[in-house]
Amino acid sequence: MNTEQPSDLSEEITSSPSEKSSSDSVTSAQRILIAEDDPVSCEVLATRLKKWGYDTVITRDGHEAMAVMRSANAPSLAILDWMMPGMDGIEVCRRLREVNQAVYIILLTSLGTKENVLQALDAGADDYLVKPFDTFALQTRIRVGLRIISLQTALAARVKDLETAAAQLQDMRGRLQMPI
C-alpha cells in the first residue's frame, strides 16, 4: 500500500500549464472536475489545481459529478473520490464508460490494495492514486491525462476528415460512372 505523504511545496513541479512551451497542448484554461465529499480534501485539491493554473468544477457526490459530466461543456479530466455518498466513484467510472464519454479519470482514494486498483481500472478509471497522495505524482498524472485527451481529440478530428474525404471520393466515383 502506498503510504507516501504529500510532498513539500518546494519539491513539486513549479511551472503551471500556462508557463509551458507553446508546443505542449495543455492550456491554463483546462477544466478539471473534482468529485470529493470531504470538504478539507476537496479544498486542498482545488487550491492545488488552481495554483497549477487549472479551472476546477467541484462536486460533492457521484450524482453531482454525473450531472456535470453530462453537460455540454463537461471537463475532459475528472478526479474522483472512490467513497462518496449516493453514487461512488467506481459507479461514476462505469457510467461514463457505458456512454463512451471521452474523459480521463483519476481515482483518488484511501483504498490501496492491488485488488482495489484492479477494480478501479476494470470500472474505467485511467489512473489511480492512494491518499495521502504525492502532489508531484498528481500533477504528472494530470499532465499525462490532458495530453492523452488532446491526442484523442486530434485523432477523432482526423478520422472525421478521412470519412468526409472518403464520402467525397465515393460521390465523385459515382458521377464519373454516369453516362454523359
Quote the strand ranges of 92-146, DSSP E.
104-109, 127-130
Mean pLDDT of 15-42: 66
Q: pTM for this one?
A: 0.76
Q: Which three three-digit cell numbers place residue 136?
A: 508531484
What is the three-class DSSP state of 58?
A: strand
Q: Where are the domains of the chain?
A: 13-176
Nearest CA to 59 among 12, 92, 27, 96? 92
**3-state SS, one letter per residue, for 74-132:** CCCEEEEECCCCCCCHHHHHHHHHHCCCCCEEEEEECCCCHHHHHHHHHHCCCEEEECC
Q: Tell me: the pLDDT tens digits for 109-158?
A: 888 899 999 999 999 999 999 988 899 999 999 999 999 999 998 999 99
CATH topology of domain 13-176: Rossmann fold (3.40.50)
Q: 14-18, 78-82, 98-102: lowest mean pLDDT where?
A: 14-18
Mean pLDDT of 10-34: 50
